[in-house]
Chains A and B, each alone.
Chain A
Amino acid sequence: MAPVTKRKRTDRSFYLSIAPFFAIFIAFSLFPVVFSVYLGFNDWDGFSPPRFVGLDNYAEAVGDPVFRKAIGNTIWLWIVTTGSTVALALVLAVLVDEYVLFGRNYFRMVFLLPLLVAPAIAAILMRVFFTSNGGLVNLLAGSVAGEPVYFDWLNSQFWVKPLVALLVIWRWTGWHMIIFLAGLQSIPRDLYEAARVDGVGRWSIFSRITVPLLLPALAFSVMTSTLGGLQMFDEPFVLTAGTGGTNNSATTLGMYLYATAFTNFDFGLGAAVSWYIFMAIVAVSVLYRLIQKRLDMGAS
């Protein structure tokens, strides 16, 4: 046998160790993505032969008022859920880290519990509690009003999006709180003590010390929440029983994509929509990178 250098042996071990990951990735992720480029330029229902249509699918989507409404809904949900989840989690994290007298471990865990509940299941629970006839919320409202209330929350054009947002906030706040708690742990204690000795108030400590030092964790949180927000599907789908709510008031891009592909079997249009979603994610990612770079420069 020809002599084999150590270098060759270790290189072989390297490629072997990463091969399973890349093989599966290429077969089941990269291939579909490449294929969806093709799909986006074709009109195809899955049965008859595909027909090349150029950019028609992309134009068709833009021309569809439901698609435009879905963009608006998605942006609304993305901003509201990201903003309120991150803000609430930040406040909770600081309070738990700094101002809680007892039960710190309890607080660390309890807000995480909703995350264990699948979005679909959480939506089912919400349907039960918010149903118009005898739902818990209407019963509560009724007892306040003194007469029975039959308000149809889930079919209200106004309320359905806030309800979706509420679901997301309920599930994800604990997760973001844990991220922030880890970030807070890495802030040196003496910084706070020094500030307190100097007589700096609570609010100033929070806004001048805690938040700036927590920026990397905040950026990570916002990014994660954005990736989820722009692809949101499970919560609005189950909450509106797949309908998107009255007058599509809770149809997201993810739901629009699902409906075009799996209800109307317009795979080309669906693929085009998925590329729009992808472009939005890339745009936000680039923005995130830029902000991160600014932060790094500010830090050094």
Chain B
Amino acid sequence: MRRSNPEKRFKLIVTIALLCLSVIFIMPLYWTAVFSTRTLGDVFNFPPPLWFGTNFDENYARVAEVFPPWRPVMNSLIVAVPKTVGLVLVSALAGYGFARYTRAPGHRFLLLMAFATLFFPPTLALIPFFLQMSWMGWLNTFWPLIIPALASGFGVIWMYTYIGSTVPRELYEAAEMDGSRGLATFFFVVLPIIRPGLAALGVWTLIQTWSEFQLPLVILGDGSKFTVPLALTSLSRNYFSDTPAVMVATLLGLIPVFILFALLSRQFVAGLTAGAVK
């Protein structure tokens, strides 16, 4: 046997080690999928099943008896979609204002304020926000999860940086010469140019919203309004021993974000790194 180049061998070892680690990382997800297709008996066997079974339909039926399995997904969508669209628009509009009208009085101060909101821990507002929502009669509705979330300091600062670096000043002036007012320029010129940025912020917001737990837990009392994490938590608490059924429900709750990620992973990664650059 010929001795291989040590550099190459080191790289091979690293690659294989990383491959193993990545398998460990996705194993829980893989098992979630596998368990959802197995019988209760299979799941408690050793060695654990490594391949898909045929029991999915039956497991699904057991979940469906307890609650309509698509309802939490619908609830999560009802919260996440308007919130994402609104947050992206509100952020892009404010980011555009900050990026374009740098000479307006108060610009520096207001930008600083927007920046300061990044350091507002959500925890701080949780209790008074709950009380506020109860006075407004918004408890147990989706509004508290959508409307207040539209004002995202992160989104604004992110959009401000993004627009500042992608839309040159002269473009605003060209549009102004062409008879386009502030808001028209935003819709006809700025928005189309920053589409990748909108997508990045959008994916990030959607995934965050899909994960949100504490706020819905405080706001939503009625099980029929539960979003995915809440519904799954209560399901797993009540039917914990029925692992395959819990796994079916979990799988259904995960599918939408995974589809989204598969479609827009590049924007998602771009969004992550752009946020870190500021």
Q: What residues make up the interface of A, taking CB atoms closer than 8 Å to B?
A: 10-11, 13-18, 20-25, 27-29, 31-33, 35-36, 39, 46, 92, 95-96, 99-103, 106-122, 124-129, 131, 134, 136, 139-140, 142-143, 170, 173-175, 178-179, 181-183, 217, 220, 227, 230-231, 233-234, 237-238, 241, 254, 257-258, 261-262, 267, 270-271, 274-275, 277-278, 281-282, 285
Contact = CB atoms under 8 A, between A and B. Distances in A.
Chain A contact residues: helix, strand, loop or mixed: helix
Greatest chain B CB density within 10 A among A17, A21, A108, A112 is at A21
B224 interface: no
A282 B211 CA distance: 26
Interface in B88-123: 90-91, 93-94, 96-98, 100-101, 103-105, 107, 110, 113-114, 117, 119-123
A16 B101 CA distance: 11
Contact of B123 (A14, A113, A217, A274): A274
A175 B272 contact: yes
Contact of A20 (B25, B44, B90, B181): B90
A238 B94 CA distance: 37
A36 B213 contact: no
B218 interface: yes
Given A102-B15, A107-B22, A111-B25, A233 B214 contact: yes
Interface in B14-46: 14-15, 18-19, 21-22, 25-26, 28-29, 31-32, 35, 43-46
Greatest chain B CB density within 10 A among A182, A275, A285 is at A182
A107 B18 CA distance: 8
- Leading 8 A-B pairs by shortest Cβ distance: A17-B97, A13-B182, A28-B148, A14-B101, A118-B211, A24-B151, A32-B128, A120-B229
A206 to B, nearest CB: 13
Contacts of B46: 139-140, 142-143
A128 B90 contact: no
A124 B183 contact: no
Given A10-B182, A46-B131, A257 B91 contact: no
Contacts of B150: 20-21, 24
A231 to B, nearest CB: 5
6 contacts: A15-B97, A20-B94, A129-B31, A139-B45, A257-B126, A278-B121
